[in-house]
Amino acid sequence: MYFKFPFLQRPAAWLGLVPGQYSSGGKARLGHITKVGDSYIRSLLVLGARAVLNRAKNKSDSTSRWAVALAERRGYWRAIVAIAAKNARMAWASLTLGERFAMPA
């Protein structure tokens, strides 16, 4: 069973893969991931993201280059969470559209 979310960012938020927001006085502060939702699915997405990042170092496709550049720029664990959130959005889109998954070009 899957839910229909109004925006593409919602599946990642539903799984707790987005930063918590602490705003005061018009200044937005982003904190740690919220960790709401199903912890088992979130842990599977994080484990899958770790595998993606570890294998991306030897590949030259656009997604692998993006993942490696993100890890160098923002750090290993932030890249892992970003990859997990991206994978959650791609899985949700595939389920919603009812199409087979194809890697983005």
pLDDT means per 10 residues in the chain (105 residues)?
Answer: 59 77 78 77 92 91 91 93 88 80 72
pLDDT at 5: 60
Residue 54 forms beta bridges with which residues?
none
**E runs forming strands in the chain:** 19-24, 27-33
Q: pTM value? A: 0.76
Which candidate, 28, 56, 58, 46, places its Cα nearest to that of 86?
Answer: 46
Tokens 């892992």 belong to residue = 80
